[in-house]
Copies of this chain bind each other. A is one copy, B any other.
Amino acid sequence: MELKAPAYLMLGLVRLGARSGYAIKQAADASTRFFWPTSLGQVYPTLGRLEAEGLLERSEDSHGARARFSYGLSPEGEAALLDWLRAPEEAPVQFRDEGLLRLFFADALAPADQLALVRRLRERNEAAAREIAEQVAPYTEQMERSGFRFPLLSARLGAESYGRAAEWLAELEAELEKSQ
């Protein structure tokens, strides 16, 4: 079988109460987007495979001519999710940030452009931290009331990381301003 992370994302979100492919996409956009974005073009085929493998159970919920389905975790699906969560080998962080890449090469710029770049990066990181605080945190707080506390903790960790990077960039910005 050998499932990949996107498959576990689906299993996990179904476990948290997302019943349809559409609902999974919505939940992912509202919560896991910051550390695992996904698209509808991936959701439906993955769901299909998981059902074929017996990890998800699909029940029909169609209205007239329009197909609609409701998913639930099978016992095998729950077991697969737990095995993944307990797996002792941690995948290395895989991080792609075009902004940091720009910073890396910023020596090529004139001082005023360097300052402008650092400012843009600081603002972008602040915006990301704010988005998490204003959109993801409330959503995951709702989950906490249903007994799921880790979604909120993950959101806080994300906000913290982006916030710390923004602070660091603000310090660099101040330093560059001084030396102008």
Interface residues of A (CB under 8 A from B): 5, 8-9, 12, 15-16, 31-32, 34-37, 78, 81-82, 84-86, 88, 90-109, 113-114, 116-117, 120-121, 123-125, 128, 147-151, 153-154, 156-158, 160-162, 164-165, 168-169, 172
Contacts and interface: CB of A to CB of B under 8 A. Distances in A.
Contact of A104 (B82, B91, B154): B154
**Most interface-central of A37, A84, A96, A172 (chain B CB within 10 A):** A96
Main secondary structure of the interface of A (DSSP, over half): helix
Contacts of A160: 164-165, 168
B128 A157 contact: no
Given A85-B102, A103-B157, 18 more contacts: A8-B101, A32-B101, A36-B97, A36-B100, A37-B94, A85-B113, A93-B125, A94-B96, A95-B96, A96-B96, A100-B158, A104-B154, A107-B149, A107-B151, A114-B150, A160-B168, A161-B161, A161-B165
Copies of this chain in its oligomeric complex: 2
B148 A100 contact: no
A102 B84 contact: yes
Contacts of A34: 95
B105 A97 contact: no
Contacts of A31: 104
Contacts of A157: 100, 103, 165, 168-169
